[in-house]
Structure 1
Amino acid sequence: MSKVSDWIQQGWYKGSPWLLPLRPLSLLVSMEASRRLERFRRAPEKPPVPVLVVGNITVGGTGKTPLVIALVQAAQARGLKVAVVSRGYGGKLDQYPVTVTADSPALDVGDEPVLIARRTGVPVILDPDRRNALQVAIETGKPDLVISDDGLQHYALPRSAEIVVVDGQRGLGNGRCLPEGPLREPATRLKEVDFVISTGGGWSGAYPMIMRPGAIENLADGRTLDTHDFLREYPHVHAVAGIGNPRRYFNLLNIIGLNIQPHVYPDHHAYQPADLAFSDGLPVLMTEKDAVKCAAFAEPNWWYLPVTADLPEGLLDQMLDRALGLDGK
């Protein structure tokens, strides 16, 4: 993470008097966001197929991607045909739309779309114009359900239901909109959505989501070790995270019992081999999101830890029912 970005986030989440002069701009952002929402709510458009939006109201990652994957897999278990639409943050494409598959280069299309495609096998359609991405998904795949990875504020995209994911550790910071605070929209937006999910900590009125670690996999040869066996063999590791809240990942590794040397990179960082060339020979343990960008030049001692979203029993079905219009609401 750059020093400037770190400094700004410190102010948002821990308080800083230098933010106060930014309040007029923050108020303008808040008013404009409220105006756009009001206009959207005045004339809601029914989507041609059920559309479930998974987003957030803060800048930075909150754990949306594991939830999107869990929702896709729950829908597949019902026998539904699913497509995902996304902006593809971190990619380098010049032309859209693009359909992402498990083999797409993550540095070109973005890490999260590739991760979703690999874990679910569904087509992931990228386009900054998510309405166009939706149309392409319908024309090419005829899905029963489309899930939007992010796009809560993209009001050109019609939707059947909305889910907001909140980082339970960091919360909403100082509760102010950009640039004084981390909010894209006022906190009152949470009252408008169908479900609020909290990752990594409790949040009043939100359903908890816990990240369950899976077997740790080697990037170079694909072999796996469960967390207990990995801990016995590699008790000391370089822990690498280029995600929205690296501390959540490091805390998970500490719970497993690992002794870590943490290395924080910006969210969606485009890794180069030199970034991970540590001289002491210790293994490198990264997130799965980072791994999709590093697999092409992986060293034998590079590993990643996949996680699965664990939610209260029946909640995934409730979310799908809401999107599909099966719950009478």
Structure 2
Amino acid sequence: MRAPRFWQNSPDAPGWQARLLAPLGAAYARATAKRVAEPPSYRAPVPVLCIGNINAGGTGKTPTVIALLQRLQARGVKAHVVTRGYGGSLAGPVQVNERTHAASETGDEPLLLAAFAPTWVAKDRSEGARAAVAAGADIILLDDGFQNPAIAKDASIVVVDAHVGFGNGRCIPAGPLREPVKAGLKRADLILTIGPDKAQERFETTWSTSIELPRAKGVLAPLPTGMDWKGTPFVAFAGIGRPEKFFETLRGLGANLVQTHALDDHQPLTNSLLTRLDADAKRLGAQLVTTEKDAVRLPKAYRTSVLSLPVRLELNDWSPVDALLDKLLDTTPPKT
């Protein structure tokens, strides 16, 4: 979902569009509050850690899940991922196989996550959790679902793009939020803001008075691949929450971006779209490049000709996250 410009207004000075849509935003907030108040239908016998957000659209949840998986695996903990599989056709629960499943079946994020840990797609997240438990999970990472009451959550991390923050602080359609900031953070155990130092400072200036829970700060850093990004002209495209992040990362590596295409989040990469992008690249004497998440949605004919740039979440200080993991792994919730 691409955020309209008026969503980016300061919460202290919302634009006229936000004020006009405020009654609808309030109704959306009430509906969300009613939903999250529903009792969970399932409590797993292992800890459940939700990685979610308050904003609609991408905030960096997938890199966060990958980083947590690697952190847990270093401890010898068997972590499984449960996700709805946005955009996929499978109802599940089914364990994702990155070699045999297609993004049209599972969604793009599960295909990416399945390369790191057992990943379960299930429209009913409680069924996915049951499958993960039966398969031997020590802990379940719930990818998204912060506002979904199906599974009892033992802890939740709210992920925020520090550059965007919480926008104008209003709920859909008056703003970018699924629920009010105060209501969402009240249910969270940790907030993780992702972005460079200037974005982190801007977020803190605007939102620090609304945060009364532990905070971790991270940045998405390119994974070294041995690729020399300088000198070659590129046509870059991205269908993520904020494509500009990807383009900025490439420029930071010295890449010469002769053309960029900001697609919608999770936008299908059809043959007609790739044919057009490929024609542009050939006309400009450039190489096509996209994100790691978009790459799993590429048609087979383009998987060897389009470069991808993987990024990983880096934290200067893991102590707030480690403290939360320690708490979860020392306490197993009661069986139902």
Alignment-derived partner of residue 91 in structure 1: 88
Provide the secondary structure at the position in 2 that maps to 1:184: coil
Q: In terms of mean alpha carbon deviation, does 106-115 or 24-33 score higher? A: 24-33
* Superposition deviation, residue 306 in structure 1: 0.4
Going from structure 1 to structure 2, the CA distance change for 1:101 and 1:45 (only over 3 Å counts) comes to: closer
TM-score when scaled to structure 2? 0.84
Show the counterpart of 2:59. 62
Distance 1:73 1:17, change over 3 A: same
Q: Is the 8 A contact 1:160 1:324 kept in 2?
A: no
The sequence identity of aligned pairs, in percent, is 37
Q: Which amino acid aligns with 1:270?
A: P
CA contact (8 A) 1:46 1:160 kept: no
Q: Which of residues 241, 265, 272 is equivalent to 1:274?
A: 272
Q: Distance in 1 between matches of 2:299 and 2:271?
A: 10
Kindly tell me: are residues 299 and 51 of structure 1, through their superposed partners in 2, closer, same or farther at Cα, counting changes over 3 Å?
closer
Measured in 2, the distance between the counterparts of 1:183 and 1:252 equals: 26
* 2:194 alignment counterpart: 199
Q: Which moved more, 1:197-206 or 1:150-159?
A: 197-206
Equivalence for 1:212: 221
**Alignment correspondent of 1:134:** 129
Aligned to 2:138: 144
| One-letter amino acid of the counterpart of residue 47, structure 1 | A
Q: Aligned-pair distance for 1:212?
A: 1.1
CA apart distance, 1:58: 0.9
Shift of 1:65: 0.2
**How far apart in 2 are the matches of 1:149 and 1:287?**
19
1:285 partner SS: strand
- Per-residue displacement from partner, 1:127-154 (whole Å, max 9, x unpaired)? 1211111011112x11101101101011
Task: Give the TM-score taking structure 1 as reference length.
Answer: 0.85
3-state secondary structure, aligned to 2:284: coil
- Structure 1 partner of 2:295: 291
RMSD: 2.3
Structure 1 residues 15-24 or 151-160, which shifts more?
Answer: 15-24
Q: CA 1:273 to 1:215, structure 2 compared with 1: closer, same or farther past 3 Å? A: farther
What SS does the corresponding residue of 1:231 show, helix, strand or coil?
coil
Task: Give the whole-Å Cα distance in 2 for the aligned partners of 1:134 and 1:262.
Answer: 39
Return the alpha-carbon distance in structure 2 between the equivalents of residues 244 and 112 of structure 1. 13
Any conservation in 1 of the 2:44–2:133 contact (CA below 8 Å)? no
Q: Is the 8 A contact 2:216 2:318 kept in 1?
A: no
Deviation at 1:314, TM superposition (A): 2.9
CA distance in structure 1 between the aligned counterparts of 2:299 and 2:194, rounded to whole angstroms: 27
> How far off its partner does 1:323 sit?
2.6
SS at structure 1 position matched to 2:82: strand
CA distance in 1, matches of 2:305, 2:123: 37
Q: 1:31 corresponds to which letter in structure 2?
A: R
- Per the alignment, residue 103 of structure 2 pairs with 106
**Residues paired across the two proteins, number:** 304
Tell me if 1:33 matches 2:36.
Answer: no
Q: Which structure 2 residue ranges, 5 or more long, are not aligned?
A: 205-210
State the shift of 1:253 in Å. Answer: 1.3
* Separation of aligned partners in 2, 1:88 and 1:59: 16
Q: Is the 8 A contact 1:215 1:305 kept in 2?
A: no
1:307 equivalent among 304, 311, 324: 311
